[in-house]
């Protein structure tokens, strides 16, 4: 077994700063401290054990990934963005907060495309499926731009509708019974 070099106070302070800044990665910290990546990972794990702090960034974001995130995050569900960028949900959320990207700033590719689909009589759900957005964001977008979209057809088998029909039937029976009693 080789000689073990203990961490100095300055190295530990630097390590804590690296943990808290959420941008440092293991390779850079290890190179700066003159230690192995494995050694830095072990020390970070020991330091953060029992705290709610995470570790260092495992894989840095490339400029290409950041650009794709800026394009995809506002218009796609987060699960789809995770699949396309091959990143975890928490990594996406952390980067989105860091970059200041907001979900509700929905920008559709082509307003004319949405108007055309709405004129064809498609519902919000059908248009959202074709354009790759969410129904909620499409509703807001259509409202803000004055696009009239056909509402979703209501189901005849919906429990509330069936309950309402039963209630109306009871009301009619009650009226007939009571009106017949008052006529006599």
Whether residue 153 is predicted with pLDDT greater than 60 in this model: the reply is yes
Kindly state the tokens that stand for 142.
Answer: 């259509």
Three-point CA angle 111, 133, 117, nearest 5° = 45
The residues, ordered by sequence, that sit 6+ positions from 149 with a Cβ below 8 Å of its Cβ are 118, 122, 123, 124, 127, 138, 139, 142
Q: Do 29 and 15 meet the contact criterion of CB atoms below 8 Å apart? A: yes
The mean pLDDT of 146-167, rounded to a whole number, is: 74
Q: What is the predicted pLDDT for the residue at 17?
A: 84
Whether residue 14 is predicted with pLDDT greater than 70 in this model: the reply is yes
Kindly state the tokens that stand for 79.
Answer: 């699960």
Q: What is the predicted pLDDT for the residue at 182?
A: 62
Please list the residues that pair with 25 across neighbouring strands: 57
Q: What is the overall mean pLDDT for the chain? A: 81
Whether residue 125 is predicted with pLDDT greater than 80 in this model: the reply is yes
Calpha distance 139→2 (Å, rounded):
65
Between the alpha carbon of residue 13 and those of residues 9, 10, 16, 23, 44, the distances in Å are: 6, 5, 5, 16, 12
Angle between helices 89-99 and 63-72 (to 10 degrees): 90
Q: What is the predicted pLDDT for the residue at 64?
A: 93
What is the model's pTM? 0.38
- Least-confidence region, from 127-136, 143-152, 174-183: 174-183
Calpha distance 145→171 (Å, rounded):
44
The residues, ordered by sequence, that sit 6+ positions from 61 with a Cβ below 8 Å of its Cβ are 69, 95
Angle between helices 37-48 and 9-21 (to 10 degrees): 80
Whether residue 101 is predicted with pLDDT greater than 60 in this model: the reply is yes
Candidates 135, 65, 144, 130; CA nearest to 101 is 65
């Amino acid at each position: 077994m080789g000689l073990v070099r203990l961490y100095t106070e300055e190295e530990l302070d630097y390590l804590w700063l690296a943990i808290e800044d959420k941008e440092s990665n293991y390779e850079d910290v290890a190179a700066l401290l003159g230690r192995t990546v494995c050694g830095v990972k072990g020390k970070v794990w020991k330091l953060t054990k029992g705290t709610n702090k995470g570790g260092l960034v495992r894989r840095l974001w490339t400029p290409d990934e950041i650009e794709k995130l800026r394009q995809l995050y506002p218009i796609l569900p987060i699960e789809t963005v995770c699949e396309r960028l091959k990143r975890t949900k928490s990594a996406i959320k952390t980067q989105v907060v860091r970059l200041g990207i907001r979900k509700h700033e929905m920008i559709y590719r082509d307003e004319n495309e949405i108007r055309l689909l709405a004129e064809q009589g498609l519902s919000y759900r059908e248009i959202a499926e074709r354009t790759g957005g969410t129904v909620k964001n499409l509703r807001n977008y259509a409202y803000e731009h004055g696009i009239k979209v056909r509402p979703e057809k209501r189901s005849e088998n919906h429990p509330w509708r069936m309950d309402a029909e039963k209630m109306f039937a009871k009301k009619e029976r009650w009226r007939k019974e009571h009106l017949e009693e008052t006529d006599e």
